[in-house]
Amino acid sequence: MTELQRLRAEHAPALLAFECANRAYFAQSVPDRGDAYFAEFDTRHGELLAGQAAGRDHLHLIVGGDGEVLGRINLIDVEDGSAELGFRVAKEAAGRGLATSAVRQVLVLAADTYGLRTLRAAATADNTGSRTVLLRTGFLPVGETVLDGRPAIRYERDLTAVRQQPAGA
């Protein structure tokens, strides 16, 4: 059983293990975080929590039944009712619908809890998995861009129609 959890200080060891175990896998489709990210992880984790406490970011983990981190779903650069969505799922968990499910949960949080009206996202043209998740969760392509020197597609999602489903619905 997996659970979406808001990032907390005690997640640091499991999050670092997730990032280390999946570094090469992630580098195939998104820019590598670089050696400094891993060497200074504790400092970076503290900065992320500070940004979240200040309301600049809303950071979430997909956590498995044993407490292992299986993915990240983040809303960053919150401003004027908008934010940038980013996500990544562990290689071992890919293709099981975890990203789609977690993004759908974050859409509800974004609209109902965080008061956001619009989300932006981008995925490289060759990142079929992420592009599929974005389309399945209602994001629409709005243009092209470049990520880390690679062609990419920009997406947007209007959140005005997103609302929490009543229990039993």
Residue 77 amino acid letter: D
Strand ranges across the sheet with 3-6: 3-6, 58-63, 69-79, 82-89, 118-124, 150-158, 140-147
CB 99: neighbour CB atoms within 10 A? Answer: 26
Short-list 72, 78, 164, CA closest to 114? 78
- pLDDT at site 153: 97
pTM beyond cutoff 0.75: yes
- Helices 41-53 & 12-21, crossing angle to 10 degrees? 120
The answer on pLDDT for 167 being more than 50 is: no
Short-list 72, 66, 58, 57, CA closest to 16? 72
The answer on pLDDT for 79 being more than 50 is: yes
- As a whole number, mean pLDDT of residues 79-99 equals 94
- pLDDT at site 168: 42
- pLDDT at site 33: 84
- pLDDT at site 163: 67
Q: What is the pLDDT of residues 58-67, one digit of tens each?
A: 999 999 999 9
Q: What is the pLDDT of residues 24-59, one digit of tens each?
A: 998 887 777 888 889 999 999 999 999 999 999 999
- pLDDT at site 164: 56
How many angstroms separate the CA atoms of 152 and 131, rounded? Answer: 10
